[in-house]
Every structure is written in C-alpha cells, then in structure tokens.
Amino acid sequence: PSVLDSFALLSGQLNTLNKVLKHEKTPLLRNQVIIPLVLSPDRDEEIMRQTEGRVPVFSHEVVPDHLRTKPDPEVEEQEKQLITDAARISPDAAQKQIQSLNKMCSNLLEKISKEERESESGGLRQNKQTFNPADTNALVAAVAFGKGLSNRRPPGSGGSVQSGQPGAGGIIAGASGMQQVPMSGAPAQQQPMLAGVQMAQAGQPGK
C-alpha cells in the first residue's frame, strides 16, 4: 500500500507539471537561458556526485562547454552544407551510393576478419610445440655424459672388439639401428671406430 500511495502521489505531480508546461502562458524552455550563479575553481563534491565523477569543478573553463546548446559556428556551417548537398541528390543516386558504401564496408569487414583469423592461426602455429623436451634432454644426456648406456663388456672381449668375434656383429648392428650400444669398460680414448662413428680423439673436444 505504501508503494502504491507513493506511485499515485508521483503520478499526480507529473500530471500537474505536464499541464503547467503545456499551458499557453508558459514560455518555451528552449528560449530560456541558464546563467551560472556561482563559479569556483575549487573541487565540488556535490557536482562530482551528480555527474558521477565526470565534472570535478564548475569553473569558467568548463561552463561554456557544459552549458552550450548549439555547436560551434564552423560545425554548423558544415552541417548546413551537407544538408544542402544531400537535398540535391536524387533518390536513385542516393540509393546507388548507399549500396556502394555498404559493399565497401562489407569488403572491409571481410578483410579485417580474414586478417584476424590468419593472425590467430599463425599465433597457434608459432605456439605449437614440434618436439618433445624429455626426448631431447635424454639424447643430450646420452651423447654428452653417456647416461642410459650399458657398461657391460661384449662376450669374449679382452679390451677391444674385433670384427671376427661373434659379439661384434650384434654391437655394430645395434649401433646402426640407433639403439643402445653396449660399451666396454675401457676409457673413452681407447675405444675403436664402431659402425663408422669414431670417438673423440685426444686434443678434440667432444660435442
């Protein structure tokens, strides 16, 4: 009931205000001039609250902009010229210009959307990973430090592997197949050439 009473009161006041404004003796508001009574360079919290923080002060610098009801004379002249030019164009010519403008806008939008799709796909291609870091680290560790390689001696070998021994064929075949090669317990400088791959010699740094 209280809400309905308040609504009825507001409705009555609005109706009364409309009757006053529509009365023939009431002057037109567009003919009235708003004159600022107080101008201050200090910050006004009330104006800040009413304008939602857009106007902090009500000084002589902002009053002409905020109380202006007409555009600048230059802008007004340009608008009049545009209205005059638009009145000279026939409806058919205006329709053709509208269609050509819409076509240009559609082509421009298609180009922009195509460039956006290409940039997104290019970014996805650049961000896509083409290698496995775990495999790369394992290969680097095996080549540099011999990690993961077996230390077992081949059967029947005293210190080096001869081509006539029965275990040499399996070692060479394993080396050519990029599998783990059983290395002997001798130092790296004493290892012979296996499957065309020569170990690092003295004086040459290993890769």
pLDDT by residue (tens digit) across 41-72? 888 898 889 888 888 888 888 888 888 778 88
Q: pLDDT tens, 20-33?
A: 888 888 888 777 77
Q: Coil, helix or strand for 40?
A: strand
Q: Which residue has the tokens 């802008």?
A: 75
Q: pLDDT tens, 110-152?
A: 999 999 988 887 766 666 667 788 888 888 888 888 887 777 6
Tell me the domain boundaries of the chain.
71-119
Do residues 66 and 39 touch, judged by C-beta distance below 8 A? no
CA distance linking residue 168 with residue 145, whole number of Å: 23
Do residues 35 and 64 touch, judged by C-beta distance below 8 A? no
CA distance linking residue 66 with residue 51, whole number of Å: 11
Which burial class, exposed, middle or buried, applies to 172 when counting CB atoms under 10 A from its CB (0-12, 13-18, 19+)? middle
Query: Beta-carbon neighbour count of residue 55 at 10 Å?
Result: 15
Confidence class for position 205, pLDDT limits 50, 70, 90: low
- CA angle 27/30/33 to nearest 5° reads 90
At position 121, the amino acid (one-letter code) is: S
Q: pLDDT tens, 72-108?
A: 889 999 999 999 988 888 889 989 999 999 999 999 9
CA distance linking residue 120 with residue 136, whole number of Å: 28
pLDDT at 163: 45
pTM for this predicted structure: 0.27
Of 177, 147, 105, nearest to 97 by C-alpha is 105
Do residues 174 and 182 touch, judged by C-beta distance below 8 A? yes
